[in-house]
Structure 1
Amino acid sequence: MSQSKPLSMANPAGLTSPSRPGLGLMTLFAVAVGVVVVQGTMVSVLQGAGIGGYGFMLAIVLAALLALCYVFTFSELSLMLPGAGGISVYTQVAMGHFPAIVATLAGYPVVAMFALSAELLLVEFILGQLYPMLFGLPGIGLGLLALLAGLNLLGVNIFARVQSLLAFVMLMTLALIGLAGVSELGTIAPTVSVTEFNPLGLGVLSLVVLAIWAFVGLEFVCPLIPDSRQPQRHVPLAMISALVVLTFIYLLLAWAGLKFVPVMTLAGAELPHMELVLALFGDSGMLLLAVAAITATCSTVNTVLATVPRMLAGMADSGQLPACFAHRRANGTPWLSILVQALMIAAPVMLLGHDPDSIIMLLISAAAAWIVTYVIAHLDVLVLRRRYPELPRPFKTPWYPLPQLLGMAGMGYVFFNNSPSPELSAQVYGNTALVLGLVALFALAWVRLKMKKGLFAATPLSHLSLVSQGLNT
């Protein structure tokens, strides 16, 4: 197959100039850890430790290796086809507009609607438990959402300052909790002894399903490439370093939990991270827990409001969404997309209230939809390697195609084993099918009737706009 050269060949892969002012490595690192570490990940890590004992640490390491597969995939794709559109750009070139729209909408705005609604409900719940006189009434979560949406409207520089601060405080707080437990420096002596190192034997491998949720979302740095300095170096390094740091912190938390909290409590508690802090510091540690909860939730919401609206704006630039989503303020922020995403997140919070079962259902439903996007991204790499073998790739996947094949197999396994009960599985798969069905119906109608293109007609590289490739100055 012959291909015409893309518009960006004069500037390999269309990357921004290294001297251009923008986001540096530390901000991109803060974005990566900020969207990954939420209260839901703390819950999954400590519950997994309660179920699998110290053997769960092996599940954490295996989940980190599975995450490394998608980090390689997104590093290759994002630096080969940089732009705010993210997965929509990669997929339209590999497989056409229909899968591009489905992958982006189902994997990011919808996931954010589910997962961040759950996070805001969790932060309201835990603050209500810790300080009922101050935070007993609903509305704290929506107030945080409104505040962060307003800050993101002010521009990427404000976002960067807020994100760096939130991520630093969050990581230091979690590291303090983990190190206090492992080194036994808490104010309360450890009283827990795990009699068997790995009670599940080889069955501990099934807990990779639980551990993987602690590593999804590192690729949120990719839509920020147009606003980054030296993205060729910083984007892969930010994701890989975040993965290493988070693996270390999760291992510390699991170890601390097993030393200070009974395994039955870890496995069954709705808020095992609260149980750990109480066991370590008693009531005096409640402020530490509040800081961890608020910074984790705010860091994630802040990152999503900075990145997902830029994906939507990139899709609008490519004609995959109504043109209004591309409207930007003078500072470059896609203001309408930010407001739409914030309203999507707020809707479940207002509709579902404080039902714990709803929180669990929202988190698992979000994860199931996310997996579909990861599988499509791995497929994009395989297709583009065959279709455009000569295209400059500032980052090439090591040991290609093994990471993509392992990534698809692992994510497929997780998708079909992601629920703790058959009843919840039916509800989760029903939600996922409904979301994918609605998104696919929209994509079908939009591509055929509005764009007037074939559903799986791949876009030649020469037809990509400068804006969609992130070349706007």
Structure 2
Amino acid sequence: MTTNNQVTLKRALGFWQCFGISVGLVVAATTVVSLCNYFGSVGPAFIIPAGVAAFTCILVVMSYAELSSAIPGAGMVVDYTLIAMGRTMSIFSMLAGYIVLISTAGACETFIAGMCAEELFGIHYKVFAGILVALFLIINLVGVTALGKSQIVLTTAKMATLAALGIGGLLHIFTASDPQPVEFAPYGWEPVLTAMGGGIWLYIGIEYVCPMSEEVIKPEKNIPKAMIAGIITIFVVDMLFGEALVRYVPLDIIATSDVPQLVGAEAMYGFAGFTLLALATICSGASAANSHMAGVPRMLYGLAREGMLPKIFAYIHPRFRTPWAAIFLAVACLSIPFFINVDISSIMTFISMACVAWLCSYIIVQIDVIILRKKMPNMHRPFKTPLYPLPQIIGILICIWAIVTQATSALIGAGVILAVFFLYAVIWVKFVMKKNCFEAVPVEEVEHLRDKIKFDE
């Protein structure tokens, strides 16, 4: 007889499902706005930092693929860091990677969707954003999950729309106006060298398939292949649209518009292109915001259950079986832009802050790989990073470069938030949990991991 202890997740996800999940959150409203803004600020030469960023993210996902194959489960960076660097860095990695995200760029998703709705339907963008936040709050409080299944469809539709507009614009197929020549690097090479953060943002979140490693067929093959294929696909689609965009709209207009993707779509294909991309942006922004509201509370719940966050975040509603306290915190984070004037300047600052924090998380993951290779050389790793440790070393160095070249305002804002999170983690572990702050936790002490991690003879 099979006992409850022996029940495992069904491995039903193949390459294409992994590919869809990988690109699902990446192709969000903030990424297309950031893409257009950087093309307007840098010119066609933005393809260079975008390409280097794609290479960097391929190096980073090698680390995620190795760790997810050796340490399967939904905890991802929290679990990896717990057994590599201890509780303090584990808490910090989660707060840095996800709370900053949902409070900044994640919060902008509904507002960008609102700006598109205002252009299309005349509804004030904050009213539309408020409706979306309220709707997603209700959906997540009562535990409705059906909307999540539509994300892959929405992602595919938006990528197809961007690719079609890009190809049509570059080849001048039935366009509403004629393309104009544009200098490759009109503002010189300094903006090109400092645009790495903008390039990285195009692919951030590609690792979201890793928590599902226990449900993937041959995860050691399908997960890295899906993430790498996702990065390459996103690069091709984004560059097609961006390189077409700068040939139909002056760079200064692209760089200063709140909805540059709509300006470009209208210049290329009139009201039809405008409407199509506006609807696609609304759907993708709404879908990404809902994903944040659904995913981040579960991470908070997991940490609280392990005693690494206040117990209130482990509260589960007795009827709906959803983490209400954690969901309300997520809503509070998503609501931050309601209290400021949202325009392209504030959106790009929020995106840059999120990028800084997420890059810190990427650095931690790559350090995790190096530490665990040394501490646990006999850990069973179905997937191993080729040419170790070169990908980790190169990846860390480029991530640092992408951080230090961000705007000063974003560095200061993200730095203050990250310092507060780190201080919280130290105080909580030292004085509440009464544990050593930076002592790695043995695998056998982590109940949800000890039966999943295997060691070679």
Q: TM-score, normalised by structure 2?
A: 0.88
Letter of the 1:66 counterpart: T
1:430 matched to 2:420: no
1:111 matched to 2:93: no
Distance in 2 of aligned mates of 1:119 and 1:382: 35
1:461 matched to 2:451: no
Distance in 2 of aligned mates of 1:306 and 1:230: 27
Query: Which residues of structure 2 form unaligned runs of 5+?
Result: none
Find the residue that maps to 1:260 and give its secondary structure: coil
1:150 Cα deviation after fit: 4.4
Paired residues for 1:290-369 under 5 Å: 290-327=278-315, 334-336=322-324, 339-369=327-357
1:341 Cα deviation after fit: 4.7
1:68 is matched with which residue? Answer: 58
2:374 is matched with which residue? Answer: 386
2:87 is matched with which residue? Answer: 97
Paired residues for 1:131-170 under 5 Å: 131-132=121-122, 135-136=123-124, 138-152=126-140, 158-170=146-158
Find the residue that maps to 2:246 and give its secondary structure: helix
Moved more, 71-80 or 349-358: 349-358
1:44 matched to 2:34: yes
Q: Percent identity?
A: 31
1:226 Cα deviation after fit: 4.8
1:449 matched to 2:437: no
Moved more, 78-87 or 94-103: 78-87
Distance in 1 of aligned mates of 2:342 and 2:194: 30
Distance in 2 of aligned mates of 1:429 and 1:15: 47
1:193 is matched with which residue? Answer: 181
1:8 is matched with which residue? Answer: none
Letter of the 1:465 counterpart: E
Distance in 1 of aligned mates of 2:138 and 2:95: 23
CA contact (8 A) 2:102 2:292 kept: yes
1:247 Cα deviation after fit: 0.9
| Per-residue CA distance 1:358-413 (angstroms, 9 max, x = gap) | 32322222222212111111111111110001101121111111111111111111
Find the residue that maps to 2:155 and give its secondary structure: helix
Distance 1:146 1:227, change over 3 A: farther
1:121 matched to 2:111: yes
| Per-residue CA distance 1:116-157 (angstroms, 9 max, x = gap) | 21222222123212321xx13632123223334544566696
Moved more, 266-275 or 325-334: 325-334
Distance 1:223 1:146, change over 3 A: farther
CA contact (8 A) 1:221 1:235 kept: yes
Moved more, 63-72 or 323-332: 323-332
1:252 matched to 2:234: no
1:9 is matched with which residue? Answer: none
2:22 is matched with which residue? Answer: 32
Q: TM-score, normalised by structure 1?
A: 0.85
Distance 1:239 1:308, change over 3 A: farther
1:221 matched to 2:212: no
Find the residue that maps to 1:453 and give its secondary structure: coil
| Per-residue CA distance 1:425-464 (angstroms, 9 max, x = gap) | 1x32332232122212221222112221100010111212
Distance in 2 of aligned mates of 1:357 and 1:35: 23
Distance 1:89 1:270, change over 3 A: same
CA contact (8 A) 1:109 1:308 kept: yes
Distance 1:470 1:142, change over 3 A: farther
Distance in 2 of aligned mates of 1:266 and 1:75: 37
